[in-house]
Chains A and B, each alone.
Chain A
Amino acid sequence: MGNLNYLTNIGRKMPLLEIKNAKLKLDNKDILKGLSLSVNRGEVHAIMGPNGSGKSTLSYMLAGRDGYELASGEVFLEGQSLSDMEADERARSGLFLAFQYPVELPGVGGMSFLREAVNSRRKFLGEEELDHLAFVKEARKVASKMFVKDEMLKRAVNVGFSGGEKKRFEILQMAMLKPKVSILDETDSGLDVDALKIVSDGVNAQRNDENAIVVITHYQRLLDYIVPDFVHILSDGNIIKSGGPELALEVEKNGYAGLINAA
């Protein structure tokens, strides 16, 4: 027993997500140039950067999209290397990506999609798969908190959804999947203030001591609602500066140019 405790404690001290010297090329162009980042349990990190700094590449790389494999370096989720894991294995292991542009799936019903995803994760965790009724009940409960109407769950995934509905549906998925690490890629894009508040409240409700959230954003605005513990500035494929929430305000005030030049 003592041994087990010892192991668990090691596990707990280990960062939830660790990126070590990540280098990635797209079309023979260096996009990530040795990026490192360590995210612990209970932390919210914001990664801010101008257009073209590599923000979306970073999120696709983490989620395991084909074509976004690292040239060198490594990524660990709770100490486990992700390099040999496909996107679906990473997701089942507890990594979640909220898409900047959620993909429309004509003909795929929202409810059955959610159920398939949740049961894939439950199966991986060794939990019993939920039957249809139990699942619908659970999904409705979570959905109502996210202001996602029943009617939306009956429609095809993201088809004909407004910008706000799409992002709400992303966060609903996050709430249902209970990931260890969530990466929110430009979750504020295309949202008006009201929608931004609903989505942020949804995210904040899921913050706890066991998980971690990485918010990738261009603007500081989102960080008024989802207040990060750490802010990192991404420029030209690397983190050039890290700090507390005040760093985001500095970006807001002086723009990226000042920071990038200073670095």
Chain B
Amino acid sequence: MLHNVKDNYIISVKDHVSQFEEKSFRKLASNDFKSWPSPREETWRLSRLGFLSRKEITPIKPNLKKQISSVSKFKGSKIIRFVDGALREDLSSKLPQGASLKILGEKDSLRCFHKFKDSNLKNHPSTNVSFSCTPSIVKLTIEKDVKIKDLFEIIYEGGDDYTSVHPALYIELKDNSIITIIERFNHLSSLIMPLQLVELKKNASINSLKIFNDNQQSYNLSANCTFLSEKSNYNSFSLIKGGLFTRSETHAYLKGENCNLNLNGVYLSCKNQHHDLTTAIYHDVPNCTSKQIVRGVLGGKSTGVFQGKVRVAPDAQKTDGQQMSRAILLSENAIANAKPELEIYADDVICAHGATVGEIDDDQLFYLKSRGISEKKAKQILIRAFLKDIINESVEESIQNYVFEEAELALSEIISKEI
């Protein structure tokens, strides 16, 4: 019986693409989806997907009249909405000059698909499944020299029991453009497989904040592939707090000299949640910097995973790559895994990494207690500070409070149970 069920999703995906021509990128993608990754594959060893093969899931048919539930938290922000994985222009804002949204045709979609297939995300299940099943690939373009002042908010919602959702977004920032984008994942119980391709052209800058806040019956397998050109800047912060199983995987290719990448993140996990931040940074050229700070707070029977790979190519001299991960376990039954992976083939580089998993720092706790602050209160102060510290360092000042409030919602739940 089991093997029949196992084949169901593959069959559903094939069904979904049957309507398209043989040569379409969807067919190509679906051909590569043969099974869920095996736990024997190194990058999936700590985040196993076997349970998905035992679920009867079918790709969602987007309901273009679906009511929305998420409201914007920012006055005057420009909103782009995806519901059931499909762009809802009727529910999105008119974009300012220099910014545009477009649904890609077959040819451009194919190009997009190949960018993923040329990257190390080629075998990621979301790559193969979402290119097969996405309603459309949406492209957001910021024109040359345009500095967007408005905050862009991309809200992904929808989903339904036993369905999979496939939003696909391609963001292109042309030379010297700047933007800040907040993305929120707010799906109902479903399997969400977002695809994102980001291309930063010369001297372009993006501040990206992602909040994974799908409901606690959801699975999110986000795949992001980013290319940085000369002097470009990608400053990204992910807050993972929702879902039963959320994995955010980002692969960043530093292709032009003097570019700068920050891939920071926080996961806040409780109950039986499984949260995974997986990153791969490829320093292919000299004189670039990358930095990663990842922190996690875990309670209940939750699991946190951080996998950070940094590859420095033989030619990428003068690379400065820093990586630091720290997880605090508030429960005896919580598990945190940290797996730094440094592959350095150049000799004139600065690369540092460190990973710790543990409890609240004894010295800090004693210091607070020695000032008359109760142990309970002291722990709360230290956990909040642990997050505040990285949030302040990672996101721009105008949205720090917002991020902290978002984190606080999950944190207060963990704290109330564990401290």
A residues with CB within 8 A of B: 63-66, 86-88, 91-92, 96-97, 99, 102-103, 105-108, 113, 116-117, 120-121, 124, 156, 173, 177
Contact B362 A66 (CB under 8 A): yes
**What are the 9 closest A-B residue pairs judged by CB atoms, nearest first?**
A107-B385, A107-B389, A91-B372, A117-B371, A103-B367, A120-B372, A87-B369, A107-B388, A92-B372
* A121 CB contacts on chain B under 8 angstroms: 372
* Min distance, Cβ B385 to any Cβ of chain A, angstroms: 3
Contact A105 B370 (CB under 8 A): no
Contact A88 B378 (CB under 8 A): yes
Contact of B369 among A86, A156, A177 (CB under 8 A): A86
Contact of A105 among B367, B374, B375 (CB under 8 A): B367
User: With A102-B367, A103-B364, A107-B387 in contact, do A88 and B372 touch (Cβ < 8 Å)?
Assistant: yes
27 chain-A/chain-B pairs, Cβ below 8 angstroms? A63-B366, A63-B370, A65-B370, A66-B366, A87-B369, A87-B370, A88-B373, A91-B370, A91-B372, A99-B367, A103-B364, A103-B367, A105-B364, A105-B382, A106-B385, A107-B387, A107-B388, A108-B382, A113-B368, A116-B371, A116-B373, A116-B377, A117-B372, A117-B373, A120-B377, A121-B372, A173-B371
Contact B374 A88 (CB under 8 A): yes
| Residues of chain B from 94 to 145 with CB closer than 8 A to chain A in the complex | none
Contact of B389 among A88, A106, A177 (CB under 8 A): A106
- Complex-state Cα separation, A177 to B371, whole angstroms: 8
* A106 CB contacts on chain B under 8 angstroms: 385-386, 389
- Complex-state Cα separation, A65 to B362, whole angstroms: 10
* Min distance, Cβ A186 to any Cβ of chain B, angstroms: 15
Contact of A88 among B362, B363, B375, B385 (CB under 8 A): B375
B43 within 8 A of A: no
Contact A103 B387 (CB under 8 A): no
- Complex-state Cα separation, A102 to B370, whole angstroms: 11
Contact A108 B372 (CB under 8 A): no
- Complex-state Cα separation, A113 to B368, whole angstroms: 8
Contact B371 A91 (CB under 8 A): yes
* A97 CB contacts on chain B under 8 angstroms: 370
Contact A124 B389 (CB under 8 A): no
B5 within 8 A of A: no
- Complex-state Cα separation, A88 to B369, whole angstroms: 4
* B374 CB contacts on chain A under 8 angstroms: 88, 120
A158's nearest neighbour on chain B, judged by CB, is B367
Contact of B372 among A102, A105, A156, A177 (CB under 8 A): A177
Contact B366 A87 (CB under 8 A): yes
A108's nearest neighbour on chain B, judged by CB, is B385
- Complex-state Cα separation, A44 to B373, whole angstroms: 26
- Complex-state Cα separation, A260 to B382, whole angstroms: 43
B301 within 8 A of A: no
- Complex-state Cα separation, A96 to B367, whole angstroms: 11
* A156 CB contacts on chain B under 8 angstroms: 385, 389
* Min distance, Cβ B379 to any Cβ of chain A, angstroms: 11
* A102 CB contacts on chain B under 8 angstroms: 367
- Complex-state Cα separation, A173 to B366, whole angstroms: 15
* Min distance, Cβ B400 to any Cβ of chain A, angstroms: 12
| Residues of chain B from 34 to 51 with CB closer than 8 A to chain A in the complex | none
Number of B residues whose C-beta is below 8 Å from A? 24
* Min distance, Cβ A230 to any Cβ of chain B, angstroms: 24
- Complex-state Cα separation, A105 to B373, whole angstroms: 14
B residues with CB within 8 A of A: 362-364, 366-375, 377-378, 381-382, 384-389, 392
* Min distance, Cβ A79 to any Cβ of chain B, angstroms: 20
User: With A106-B385, A120-B374 in contact, do A91 and B369 touch (Cβ < 8 Å)?
Assistant: yes
* B364 CB contacts on chain A under 8 angstroms: 103, 105
* B362 CB contacts on chain A under 8 angstroms: 66
User: With A88-B378, A108-B381 in contact, do A65 and B366 touch (Cβ < 8 Å)?
Assistant: yes
- Between A86, A103, A156, the greatest number of chain B beta carbons within 10 A of the residue's beta carbon is seen for A103
- Complex-state Cα separation, A106 to B371, whole angstroms: 17
Contact A107 B378 (CB under 8 A): no
* Min distance, Cβ B391 to any Cβ of chain A, angstroms: 9
- Complex-state Cα separation, A63 to B371, whole angstroms: 10
B362's nearest neighbour on chain A, judged by CB, is A66
- Complex-state Cα separation, A175 to B412, whole angstroms: 33
- Between B368, B382, B386, B389, the greatest number of chain A beta carbons within 10 A of the residue's beta carbon is seen for B368
Contact A107 B371 (CB under 8 A): no
- Between B372, B382, B386, B389, the greatest number of chain A beta carbons within 10 A of the residue's beta carbon is seen for B372
- Complex-state Cα separation, A108 to B388, whole angstroms: 8
* Min distance, Cβ B307 to any Cβ of chain A, angstroms: 25
User: With A86-B375, A103-B364, A107-B388 in contact, do A116 and B381 touch (Cβ < 8 Å)?
Assistant: yes
B375's nearest neighbour on chain A, judged by CB, is A88
* B375 CB contacts on chain A under 8 angstroms: 86, 88
Further contacts, 7 of them, CB under 8 A, given A63-B370, A107-B389 = A66-B366, A87-B366, A87-B369, A88-B371, A99-B370, A120-B377, A124-B372
* B366 CB contacts on chain A under 8 angstroms: 63, 65-66, 87, 103
* Min distance, Cβ B368 to any Cβ of chain A, angstroms: 8
Contact B370 A120 (CB under 8 A): no
- Complex-state Cα separation, A177 to B372, whole angstroms: 9
Contact B367 A120 (CB under 8 A): no
A101's nearest neighbour on chain B, judged by CB, is B363
* B372 CB contacts on chain A under 8 angstroms: 88, 91-92, 117, 120-121, 124, 177
- Complex-state Cα separation, A161 to B381, whole angstroms: 20
* Min distance, Cβ A82 to any Cβ of chain B, angstroms: 13
A95's nearest neighbour on chain B, judged by CB, is B370
- Complex-state Cα separation, A64 to B370, whole angstroms: 8
* Min distance, Cβ B98 to any Cβ of chain A, angstroms: 37
Contact A107 B367 (CB under 8 A): no
Contact B385 A105 (CB under 8 A): yes
* Min distance, Cβ A262 to any Cβ of chain B, angstroms: 36
- Complex-state Cα separation, A120 to B378, whole angstroms: 11
* A173 CB contacts on chain B under 8 angstroms: 371
* B381 CB contacts on chain A under 8 angstroms: 108, 113, 116
* Min distance, Cβ B309 to any Cβ of chain A, angstroms: 27
B377's nearest neighbour on chain A, judged by CB, is A116
